[in-house]
Amino acid sequence: MAAIIQAGSKQYKVEEGSIIQVDLIAGNPGDTVELDKVLAVIGSGPAVFGKPFVEGAKAQATIVAHTKGKKIEVFRYKPKKRIRIHTGHRQKYTELKIDKITV
């Protein structure tokens, strides 16, 4: 069984046992999280699509780890003004393992 869920402002296609990276969620590794914004459920019969969410559908996940993404370097430069600004950013992510999808 597969489902399309919404975590934060992004959508992910998940199956039971898959590991996904979502934006940072509060919690410790090993904690259980319920993702109740399920947009569609595919498999085990006809596909069910929500308007906008499927009522009663949930995806249960376990927090595996908190990680950081690749570093993005930003360099702003204005010629003839002696302005050079160098900054960086690393996005924080949470790795989730999907345990169960219920309808």
pLDDT in tens, 20-32: 999 999 999 999 9
Q: Which pLDDT score, from 0 to 100, does residue 84 have?
A: 97
pTM exceeds cut of 0.85? no
Every domain of the chain and the residues it spans: 2-102
Q: Is the peptide bond before 79 cis (omega within 30 degrees of 0)?
A: no
Please list, residue by residue across 58-94, b when 16 or more beta carbons sit within 10 angstroms of its beta carbon and e when fewer do.
bbbbbbeeeeeeeeeeeeeeeeeeeeeeeeeeeeebb
pLDDT at 55 over 90: yes
